[in-house]
Amino acid sequence: MLELDRYMLIAGRPGPKHISTNRGLDRRLFRALVVEISTDQLQYIINHARSVYPEECCGFLIGTKSNPRRVSRVLTAQNVAQPSRLKRYNIDPKELIRADEEARRSGLNLIGVYHSHPDAPVEPSQFDLEHAWPAYTYIVLSLQNGEPRDVAAWSLSQNGTAFQLDELRVR
């Protein structure tokens, strides 16, 4: 049995290899974008989050910009937030450029960023909103006491004033 099966659901339905993108979230927030990620890639994000808990982890999502948006590769990034990585993440711009160049060399795109919310809800924070880019997908993993609780995919609205919940599918 996959570790993910123990605590995750999709759209309120239990099942293997599925993930909760809406536990306690209003389904009316969903927009048309679908984000697909493999079980192994999601487990990689979970392992990264656990390894740096109680600090926030962060990394890149490499893949295709199609709809569904498909994650092909996950790359870790170093959280360089100052003064504290407990409630914030920040990625060195040089690391962002390297990830984008690596994606292009592979014929893919840098399609987004993932990060964790230690002991906080899966919804993006005001800080997340103020630092988001409209073209990216943001996967946020909520941990409680170091254990995964929820995960969701978000996109910034076109006017940049709010996040919209995307459908996250684990394949």
Residue 104 structural domain: 3-170
* Count of the separate structural domains present in the chain: 1
Note every long-range contact of 21-29, with CB atoms under 8 Å and residues 24 or more positions apart, other chains counting.
21/150, 21/151, 21/152, 21/153, 21/165, 21/166, 21/167, 21/168, 22/152, 22/165, 23/122, 23/150, 24/150, 25/122, 25/123, 25/152, 25/165, 29/164, 29/165
Q: What is the pTM of this model?
A: 0.83
Q: Report the candidate in 94, 5, 95 with the shortest Cα–Cα distance to residue 58.
A: 95
Q: Mind listing the pLDDT tens digit of every residue in the chain (171 residues)?
A: 234 443 333 323 232 233 344 444 554 444 569 999 999 999 999 999 999 999 999 999 999 999 899 999 999 999 999 888 999 999 999 999 999 999 999 999 999 999 999 999 999 999 999 999 989 999 999 999 999 999 999 999 888 899 999 999 999
CATH, residue 155: 3.40.140.10
